[in-house]
Amino acid sequence: MSTPKTLVRVGRYDGSLEEAVKRFREPLENIPVGLGNTVKYATFKEAEEPYLLMVSQQKEKVVTAAGYNVILTVTSYSDSRNQQVADQFDRETEIELSLGVPEQLKRHFVMMNLSFRAFEKNPRAAMAILTREL
């Protein structure tokens, strides 16, 4: 069995994340779970090459010492699929996610690989948990 791979991208965006994600071709769900100072959205695309995309931004748009306030993760079984989805997200939302990603942040998001497997097994239930509908 293949192991899921997670791509992490970061950038600075001073506009409304809510408005930006509306421009992405896949509808993203608001995720109220997690830290109270962030706005998060996610989508799981069931396809021949499924992927899980999550994006978050600090509510106050505070920029970290590394210069970013938006984090995008894309998880699938293919590095090239992750790149393709992330590039499409950049283009359609006009959020430039091109800053260097700190190694610590990359390691932190390895857990997305486990989340991806849960989404793959039962996408509706996994999304319902994230959106607090379950």
Calculate Rg over the CA atoms of the chain: 14
Structure confidence at residue 71 as a pLDDT band (50, 70, 90): very high
Q: What does the pLDDT average to over 77-103?
A: 95
pLDDT tens digits, 108-128: 888 888 888 888 888 888 888
Cβ-proximal residues to 40 (8 Å cutoff; 6+ apart), any chain: 30, 31, 32, 33, 34, 54, 55, 56
What residue ranges define each of the domains in the chain, with the CATH number in brackets? Answer: 5-130 (3.30.310)
pLDDT tens digits, 2-51: 889 999 999 999 999 999 999 999 999 998 866 667 889 999 999 889 99
